[in-house]
Amino acid sequence: MKIEFSVPLEKHDSSLGWYYIVYVPKNLIKELGKEKNLRVKVTYNNREISHVSVKSKGDVRFLVMNSQLRKALKLVEGELVQVKVELETGKYGMPMPEELALMLEQDEQADVHFHNLTPGKQRSLIFIVHKLKNVDSRIKKALGIVEHLNEFNGELDYRALNEKIKEVNQRTM
């Protein structure tokens, strides 16, 4: 499955605040199928890639664009966005950073803890590492995640995880 379209970036207000979205044109919705939380790889304006789920509300399907991506593309509300959507075929719904994969491979206990997490929590940890450009920073974040998973027996406490990552950064300076 691969679909392409151009649509304006829209600002959506909700009770939780506002966010930016691009609507999938109605004539292309059927190509996405009926899966509720379909994971896709989206290329915006032929240069920025995002791994997200297709959201739905009634008979409408849309993609949420985060502020980091919107700023990288220098997009404003109402501006046309070129969108290419492909099915995400990876195991986790997004690419696994090599640094985290290697650490999980080397630490059997952390690997078990990681794979016992829900897919959404797995993706959130993957994203924490994936979003960094610097290899050393990715290694430190991955190490903090592995240590946190072991210390908390696979339970995620994001406040404690942030403290663990700070501790790893201090330890490895």
Q: Which residues of the chain have pLDDT under 50?
A: none
Q: CA distances (Å), 92 to each of 8, 39, 115, in order?
A: 29, 9, 10
For residue range 62-107, what is the model confidence (pLDDT) as tens digits?
999 988 889 999 999 999 999 999 998 889 989 999 999 999 999 9
Domain-located, residue 51: yes
Report the alpha-carbon distance of residue 166 to residue 48 in Å, rounded: 29
- Any domain includes 92: no
pLDDT score at 130: 92
Q: What is the pLDDT of residue 48?
A: 87
Residue 86: per-residue pLDDT:
93
Residues 67 and 108 in one domain: no
The reported pTM is 0.76
Q: Are residues 69 and 28 in the same domain?
A: yes
pLDDT given for residue 57 in this prediction = 85
Q: Are residues 6 and 81 in the same domain?
A: yes
Task: Output the pLDDT for position 134.
Answer: 93
Q: How many domains does the chain have?
A: 2
**Phi-psi map region of 78: left, alpha, beta (phi>0 left; psi -120 to 50 alpha):** left
Q: pLDDT value at position 42?
A: 95
Range of the domain at 161: 98-171
**Which residue, of 29, 61, 87, is where some domain finishes?**
87
